[in-house]
Structure 1
Amino acid sequence: MINSTFRIYGTQTALAVAKWTAILVPTAMCIGTLCALFLWLLDTVTNIRTASPWLLFLLPFAGVAVGLVYFWLGKSAEGGNNLIIDEIHEPGGGIPLRMAPLVLISTVISHLFGASVGREGTAIQIGGSIASGIGRLVHLDARSTRILLMSGISAGFGAVFGTPLAGAIFGLEVVTIGRLDYAALLPVAFASILADWTCHHWGVHHVIYHIDYTGLSVDHGVHFHVSLILLAKVAVGSVLLGLCSRIFAESVHALSTVFKQICPYGWLRPALGGVLTIALVWIAGTNAYLGLGVTAPDANTPSIISFLGTNHFGWSWLWKMIFTVAVLGSGYKGGEVTPLFFIGAGLGNALAPFLGVPVDLLSAVGFVAVFAGAANTPLACTLMAIELFGSVNAVYFAVGCFVAYLCSGHTGIYLAQRIGVPKTRQPDLAQGIALRDTRTLNKSSFLTWRR
């Protein structure tokens, strides 16, 4: 009887492994290939834009052109990342396969003409749409489709940033705040690792980040991984990083509402963001805040790499936030994460001298902590920091991400996220409520208080 049970269980397990391997291998390799193409195109258009600054003046027209394409062809694909998260929670009409080429091309256009957008949104939408298409092809049930969609998100995220472990946890963590679905752990990890491997083997490589701070030196040259005083200072700085996350997310949502009131035509709104970006470049006197902002011609120009050095940049983080909010609020395609890396690293760089923290350390903490607060993914961001900067400062990275996550409140850049476990005890926050609905509750509570 026992042997028979083990044989049945073993057979079922083997069949499940074979099934998921057959599904995930082509899914992850396809996503990794598209991410490699996307990253290559981003490098190409960034070089073109840098060599031809006049392209910025065409940004409003490019935004309208993309808006019209989405108006004519996009339909449900306009929902972007939030559509994918909604489909994971409540499977419905599915995710259109056209989302992948639409978002890839539109994001490349945004970067070509200077919009301050990122790349994670594109990678997530590529992953989600490919996964959904394959799920329909093989007729998966709702539960399996949910796992495959999370695997697609993980594959896109892991491949586009070169962080497969962070990608795996991101696909689980971004769906529901405070709760992970461990049943999907192995599929998302497999998909993320394979997609990153595929992207790498297409010859596409990621920027290498480095910080000099390597821990506290004690007797006989031995290094210890944490100083309590330094950790307390990092925690204080992370409170501000978390508040920055909240300000960013709320600013994007608020400006989007304002633009909708000003201009009822969705395809025309990007023109407003494009004109505003041109004005901001003139006011700031630099084009350093266009595009991704990962690297710069020299260490004196604000960029993520520059923030991790020794130079001090006071308000670069705020400028980047303003540039990014302007284009995301008006409807440009791309993502928020790389600009959030810039904003976080820049704010960490600005705060470091006042808190007495090594500049490179607090910049690296800010790099991941602001994103952790805005996306409500502290575990994924901690792993990302370890994959990008090494493990010696893991405690500082973890504290930064956890504190920022708590201080960002029940808001975020993905309004389709559900609340599994609230960050703080609030009677109005029912389990399973979406972040978009918490905004309505907050507004109602405010109006009641005013009365």
Structure 2
Amino acid sequence: MQNQLFSSQHFAILKNALRWTVIIIPIAVVIGSAVALFLWLLSWAIHFRFAHSWLLYLLPLAGIAIFFLYKLLGGSAEKGNNLIIDEIHNPGGGVPKRMAPLVLITTIITHLFGGSAGREGTAVQMGGSLAQMIGKWLKLNDADTQTVLTAGIAAGFGAVFGTPLTGAVFAMEVLTIGRVQYNALLPCLIAGIVGDVTVAAWGVHHTPYHIDIIPLIPHWFSGYISTDLLMIMKTIVASIAFGLASYLFAKMVHGIKSFFTKYVKTPWLIPFIGGLIIIALTYINGKPDYLSLGVDAEHLGAITIPSAFHAGGADTWSWLWKTIYTTITLGTGFKGGEVTPLFYIGATLGNTLSGLLGAPVSLFAALGFIAVFAGATNTPLACTFMGIELFGGEHALLFAVACFTAYLFSGHTGIYGSQRIGVTKLSDDPADDKTLSDAMKKRSYLYQKLAKYSPLKGND
């Protein structure tokens, strides 16, 4: 009887695994192919602007074009990644098919004219849109459609960064803070792997990153404290700063968006003004280093993500400049993702902190690379895996320390307002907020009320 029960159970597991394999592989191939096309077009757009720097001066007009494209064609697609997260939690109107081509076109426009944005948002939105479309063709029920959408996130994310395992974990972790949706484990893993393999099959390659070999240097305190423990302590200190940088980024994106919505009554003027500000900032800086992705160098000696892994490869305030550029770009309506700029912010901040803490430059650039992302997206597990996939497993413990510390110190903020709060970051903070956006609004209201009655406030 027990043997029969055992055999039946595993037969059912095998049947379910084969079913999802058959469903997910073609979906992931389509998404991976779309991401490959996107990455090719993105590289073309960025290098075309490198050769024609005057295109930056057309950024305000590009912003107006993006606004009207979404005004005329966007509909619910305007919500971007948050729409996909909402749809997974509460199936309703669905993810429109037009989201994929619309976000692809507008992201290319943003980068062609110099906007500071990323690429993860585009890949995830294309993944969700295409997964929903194919799911409807297959006539999947609501539960299966939710799983397919989650797998679509995994395929898009894994394909765009060349990190299939990270894509799988990210898709399961990003939906609810403090919880991982294991019901989509196998589909997400298949989707992440197939999406990444598909991009590689199309001949599209990702930027390699490398942590230098760290020599063991004896110190006078070696007899009292181990070098490894000292490195962990330095990592914690730096990661508190990484978490605060995540907090600042999320607050600025939402704050800039709210500010312009409140004070600029003509909506199409918002991206126009945003474009003018980016042009002015570039004129003030005297260099274009903080435009676009920040991965490829526009000129010799440019500050990029790869350069941040070397001593002298970033200025002291490069991380803050990139924060300002990106939050203005995205907060005023331009399209693209946040993650690659977060990589830039983290890597350059890590470069700066390595000098202050007497730590290895490439290691702390790598820690910042993943930790700022972890804090801004509330996905410390996925980011720990990203560190291992991108930089190797030698420093896995430090990756985990950095990501979990930054996650805690970013507070209840983040770039995805539709994330649900499953487990709060403070034990005495009740988990009664339905979404992260609700939590941020509630805390903003409380801060306003506290400020009103603050003893530091004048009595006039």
Matches within 5 A, 1:344-359: 344-359=346-361
Determine the structure 2 residue equivalent to 1:421. 423
Cα pair distance change 1:215/1:152, threshold 3 Å: farther
| Superposed displacement of residue 447, structure 1 | 3.7
Determine the structure 2 residue equivalent to 1:399. 401
Cα pair distance change 1:149/1:232, threshold 3 Å: same
- Which sits farther off after the overlay, 289-298 or 347-356? 289-298
Cα pair distance change 1:209/1:168, threshold 3 Å: same
Identity %: 52
Q: TM-score, normalised by structure 2?
A: 0.93
Q: For the residues of structure 1 that align with 2:158 and 2:217, how far apart are their CA atoms?
A: 34
Cα pair distance change 1:2/1:391, threshold 3 Å: closer
Q: For the residues of structure 1 that align with 2:299 and 2:449, how far apart are their CA atoms?
A: 53
Q: For the residues of structure 2 that align with 1:186 and 1:214, how far apart are their CA atoms?
A: 37
> What is the CA deviation profile of residues 162-205 of structure 1, one whole-angstrom value per residue up to 9, with x for unaligned ones?
00111110001110011011121111011000000001000000
Determine the structure 2 residue equivalent to 1:323. 325
Q: For the residues of structure 2 that align with 1:175 and 1:336, how far apart are their CA atoms?
A: 17
**Contact kept in structure 1, 2:424 and 2:430, CA below 8 Å:** no
| Superposed displacement of residue 313, structure 1 | 2.0
Determine the structure 2 residue equivalent to 1:196. 196
Determine the structure 2 residue equivalent to 1:137. 137
| Superposed displacement of residue 230, structure 1 | 1.4
> What is the CA deviation profile of residues 104-141 of structure 1, one whole-angstrom value per residue up to 9, with x for unaligned ones?
11101110000000000001001111111122222222
> What is the CA deviation profile of residues 293-340 of structure 1, one whole-angstrom value per residue up to 9, with x for unaligned ones?
013256732111111012152111111111111111101110100000
Matches within 5 A, 1:51-66: 51-66=51-66
Q: For the residues of structure 1 that align with 2:75 and 2:89, how far apart are their CA atoms?
A: 20
Q: For the residues of structure 2 that align with 1:385 and 1:10, how far apart are their CA atoms?
A: 34
Determine the structure 2 residue equivalent to 1:187. 187
**Contact kept in structure 2, 1:100 and 1:129, CA below 8 Å:** yes
Determine the structure 2 residue equivalent to 1:83. 83
**Contact kept in structure 2, 1:252 and 1:328, CA below 8 Å:** yes
| Superposed displacement of residue 10, structure 1 | 4.7
Cα pair distance change 1:318/1:444, threshold 3 Å: closer
Provide the aligned C-alpha RMSD in A: 1.7
- Which sits farther off after the overlay, 249-258 or 355-364? 355-364
Determine the structure 1 residue equivalent to 2:159. 159
**Contact kept in structure 1, 2:417 and 2:435, CA below 8 Å:** yes
Determine the structure 1 residue equivalent to 2:457. none
| Superposed displacement of residue 281, structure 1 | 0.5
Q: For the residues of structure 2 that align with 1:365 and 1:20, how far apart are their CA atoms?
A: 35
- Which sits farther off after the overlay, 304-313 or 421-430? 421-430
Q: For the residues of structure 2 that align with 1:180 and 1:163, how far apart are their CA atoms?
A: 18
- Which sits farther off after the overlay, 182-191 or 17-26? 17-26
Q: For the residues of structure 1 that align with 2:202 and 2:37, how far apart are their CA atoms?
A: 9
Determine the structure 2 residue equivalent to 1:376. 378
Q: SS where residue 227 of structure 1 aligns?
A: helix
Aligned length: 444
Q: For the residues of structure 2 that align with 1:137 and 1:389, how far apart are their CA atoms?
A: 39
Q: Which amino acid aligns with 1:290?
A: L
| Superposed displacement of residue 144, structure 1 | 1.6
Determine the structure 2 residue equivalent to 1:287. 288
| Superposed displacement of residue 35, structure 1 | 0.5
Determine the structure 1 residue equivalent to 2:102. 102
Determine the structure 2 residue equivalent to 1:21. 21
Q: SS where residue 409 of structure 1 aligns?
A: coil
Determine the structure 2 residue equivalent to 1:361. 363
Q: For the residues of structure 1 that align with 2:331 and 2:397, how far apart are their CA atoms?
A: 35
Q: TM-score, normalised by structure 1?
A: 0.95
Cα pair distance change 1:397/1:226, threshold 3 Å: farther
Q: For the residues of structure 1 that align with 2:174 and 2:267, how far apart are their CA atoms?
A: 27
